[in-house]
Amino acid sequence: MGSIVQFIAADPDGLLPPAAQVKAALEILSRRFPIATDICVTEHDTVVLIDCGEDLMTVRCPSCGADLLEDRRWQQMMDSAWEAGMRHRSFDLPCCGVNHALEDLAYDWPMGFGRFSLDVWDPDVTWFLPDGRGDATQARAILKELGTTLGVEMQAIWRHL
């Protein structure tokens, strides 16, 4: 089974860094993932969901722990944010009324939001698997190197294909 690792900025509104830095980051990824089938940059006009696909099990409220996937509550908030161009992403949550942004909810497996991603197709490594099989040391080292090169804090989103 194939997979993709998408590297995104920790700040969802963060724009793609300058071309020279992106080029350097792609070179790092080529060196770190020598057998990947493709390594590319994806840029979006607005903030988009960088999703983990079928491995999404829960979307929890950080305040009360309620699972917002139940009754499609998370999907409704996503729809309404999307209709507003993803500029207003904070809601008084239906579970406990506390206001949180979509990107601050607890996604399991992890998902993220961003204006761009650096995508590594079929990296054939398990370093970024969020289910305990990952190699946290490798993952941290790569995220640190990317962050330093791009000048922004980065995170990784894993998806099975």
Kindly list the residues in this chain that would bind Zn ion in the complex (CB under 5 A). 61, 63-64, 66, 93, 95-96
* φ and ψ at residue 8, rounded to 5 degrees: -130, 160
DSSP 12: T
Question: What is the distance between the alpha carbons of residues 69 and 81, in angstroms, rounded to a whole number?
Answer: 16
Query: Could you tell me the smallest distance in angstroms from the CB atom of residue 50 to Zn ion?
Result: 23
Which one-letter amino acid corresponds to residue 38? D
Query: Could you tell me the smallest distance in angstroms from the CB atom of residue 57 to Zn ion?
Result: 18
Q: Between residues 26 and 66, which has the closer beta carbon with respect to Zn ion?
A: 66
Structure tokens at 90: 């904070």
Q: Between residues 74 and 109, which has the closer beta carbon with respect to Zn ion?
A: 74
Q: Between residues 78 and 95, which has the closer beta carbon with respect to Zn ion?
A: 95
Q: How many CA atoms lie within 13 A of 122 on its CB side?
A: 6
Query: Could you tell me the smallest distance in angstroms from the CB atom of residue 52 to Zn ion?
Result: 22
